[in-house]
Structure 1
Amino acid sequence: MSGAGEGLDYDSLKLDRTGQAEAFDSIGDRYDEAFPHKEGQVGSADWLLERLSPGARVLDLGCGTGLPTARQLADGGCAVVGVDLSAAMVALARHNVPEGEFHRADIADLRPGGPLDLGGFDAVAAFFSLLMLPRAEIPLALTMIHGLLRPGGVLALSMVEADVDDFAIPFLGSTIRVTGYLRDGLREVVEAAGFTIEGESSYTYAPESSDVPPEEQIFLRCTRLD
């Protein structure tokens, strides 16, 4: 498989997560208060559940507080494994979804040969987690997700539509750095990583917090090409 990350590897990148985890540690459960309406996320997780058998292993990549996705997938009979860079978010996820398995780890830790080997998955949910990576790393992360999925596995992915790369924004009293693509660019990088896009939806979202501007959210529903 010729992936979007061909010619690149994690060893060639200088990863800078400065302030990213600390921002979410300080936000804690205020995150769910600021983002109460998650129809796109819930709908995409429903799409995953429609394609999965009871007991399917699902990776919630950037699980946050575990709400709503890990909770929804666990209620749907899946074995949920969550990963997040923020220790506070992982603690909340363990409380909200006690039957799940949650790890405080960087996305890069899941790369082949990396420090966290979680095995294979039937599905991956990556809701706004790739948003936190610089653009040079996103093809690598998508190729890594492809490798974590079993043949025929499914991916539910969301990003914010914006032509920015590692761009600092105010976020609930903290500052985080985010990356986005315009719609066609996002589709291109996902398909180049070895996925076929089965469906797409978008939502204009205005968070409850006044310091977070309205955004256009894109949800892609994808299947791994073998």
Structure 2
Amino acid sequence: MGSGNSVGSGNSGADQENARPDRTGQAEAFDAIGDRYDEAFPHKEGQLSAGEWLIGSLPGGARVLDLGCGTGLPTARQLADGGLDIVGVDLSGGMVELARKNVPGGVFHRLDIADARPGGTPDLGRFDAVTAFFSLLMLQRAEIPLALRSIHQLLLPGGLFVLSMVEADVDDFAIPFLGNTVRVSGYLRDDLRRVVEGADFEILEETSYSYAPAIADVPPEEQIFLRCRRRG
């Protein structure tokens, strides 16, 4: 499971702020986990493969937003090393500090995706690609379509979007995670595809991996990776 905590609802104005669930506990859990996350999840073949696809698909200097950047490893560093201009956001201040150390060439913000939009504070602008590796699963299901619309708005026309989720039919479900408790949501793969396509993305490729984390309290999981393009 990924470390991203950066995602929230995609409503606007005061309604957006009022509707956003309190994710303080999520942020505190990942502050406490810190770089132990990378120790628990040492093999990230699907994530690295998706990163290589982005590097090969984008021109040098293209802007990429890493939603739920965690410690910056491996994605932000991989993309920065590949010549891309990286911006990362995460709700966990501790993760953002680690990302700044691990990827000194990137720009990182402590931010909920509800505030990660063109014209927001800070104004992140728009991007050639967005990654969301295991960050959307930190949302309640009702928020995920809204978050996908925010991502659509952050992308330039024809921009690329890579996401991964753990396949699971759960909504806001509490799980033990590296000595802490986090709440996660998920979909079965056909449902995930429908939600992503419903947010006006074309799914270019789907891959999946059976993954057993290197720690006892995190069960094996089926990871789904989607490579997408923004329609419109």
**Normalised-by-shorter TM-score class:** over 0.9
Does residue 146 of structure 1 match 2:146? no
Cα distance in structure 1, aligned partners of 2:23 and 2:93? 14
Cα distance in structure 2, aligned partners of 1:218 and 1:198? 13
Show CA shifts across 1:128-154 (max 9, x none).
010101111100110000010001100
1:9: which partner in 2?
Answer: 11
Choose from 86, 90, 99 the match for 2:96. Answer: 90
- 1:48 is displaced (CA, Å) by 1.0
Does residue 29 of structure 1 match 2:35? yes
- 1:9 is displaced (CA, Å) by 2.7
Does residue 72 of structure 1 match 2:78? yes
Show CA shifts across 1:168-211 (max 9, x none).
00000000000000000100000010100000000011101100
Does residue 50 of structure 1 match 2:56? yes
Cα distance in structure 1, aligned partners of 2:20 and 2:106? 32
SS in 1 for 2:69: coil
Cα distance in structure 1, aligned partners of 2:69 and 2:177? 18
- 1:15 is displaced (CA, Å) by 1.9
Choose from 123, 126, 131 the match for 1:125. Answer: 131
Letter in structure 2 aligned against 1:88? G
1:60: which partner in 2?
Answer: 66
Does residue 137 of structure 1 match 2:156? no
Letter in structure 1 aligned against 2:11? D
- 1:51 is displaced (CA, Å) by 1.0
- 1:113 is displaced (CA, Å) by 5.5
Choose from 163, 166, 176 the match for 2:172. Answer: 166
- 1:115 is displaced (CA, Å) by 3.1
Does residue 157 of structure 1 match 2:159? no
SS in 2 for 1:19: helix
SS in 1 for 2:24: coil
Show CA shifts across 1:70-103 (max 9, x none).
0000011000000001111101100010010000
- 1:49 is displaced (CA, Å) by 1.1
Q: What stretches of structure 2 of length at least 5 have no aligned partner?
A: 1-9
- Over the aligned positions, Cα root-mean-square deviation in angstroms equals 1.2
Letter in structure 1 aligned against 2:158? G
> Using a 3 Å threshold, how does the CA distance of structure 1 residues 123 and 191 change in structure 2: closer, same or farther?
same
- 1:112 is displaced (CA, Å) by 5.5
Letter in structure 2 aligned against 1:190? V
Cα distance in structure 1, aligned partners of 2:65 and 2:227? 15
- 1:185-224 equivalent positions in 2, closer than 5 A: 185-224=191-230
Cα distance in structure 1, aligned partners of 2:114 and 2:87? 16
TM-score where L is the length of structure 1? 0.94
